[in-house]
Amino acid sequence: MTRRKGKATMPDLQFLIVLIRDFVEHRISADEFESRYLTAFKAGTGDVADDDIFETLDGLFADVDAYVADPTLRTDPEDLDEEQLRACAARVLEKLVPPGNAGL
């Protein structure tokens, strides 16, 4: 994905953090997370000034794109199931919200 110039406002990053947390904590399904994350990221919510944060969010975008809900359609070794995607999202959440900042 080509990075567009821009800067996410704090609510945009907050939106992504809440969305990721909702998925990691099983409040939304993988299908709902996939739809909402891809839409938000493509709409520019993923545009952030900090390169490390952008790379983290862009990496999760790739993971979400690799998610395949139907096990019979997972033919590529890089295809992810729901639990694998949830593990990827959990790692991203740890990077975005370090321990001690759980209130975000």
CATH number at residue 52: 1.20.120.650
What pLDDT sits at residue 87? 98
> Is pLDDT at 5 greater than 70 in this prediction?
no
What are residue 92's DSSP bridge partners? none
- The torsion region of residue 58 among left (phi > 0), alpha (psi -120 to 50) and beta comes to alpha
- Summarize pLDDT for 36-88 with one digit per residue, the tens: 999 988 887 545 667 888 899 999 999 999 999 999 999 999 999 999 999 99
Domain tally for the chain?
1
Q: Which domain holds residue 89?
A: 10-96
Give pTM, 2 decimals.
0.81
With CA atoms as reference, report the closest residue to 1 among 55, 49, 40, 67: 55
Burial of residue 63, with CB atoms counted within 10 A of its CB: 0-12 exposed, 13-18 middle, 19 or more buried: buried
Q: Is residue 4, in this structure, part of any structural domain at all?
A: no
Name the residue type at position 93.
L
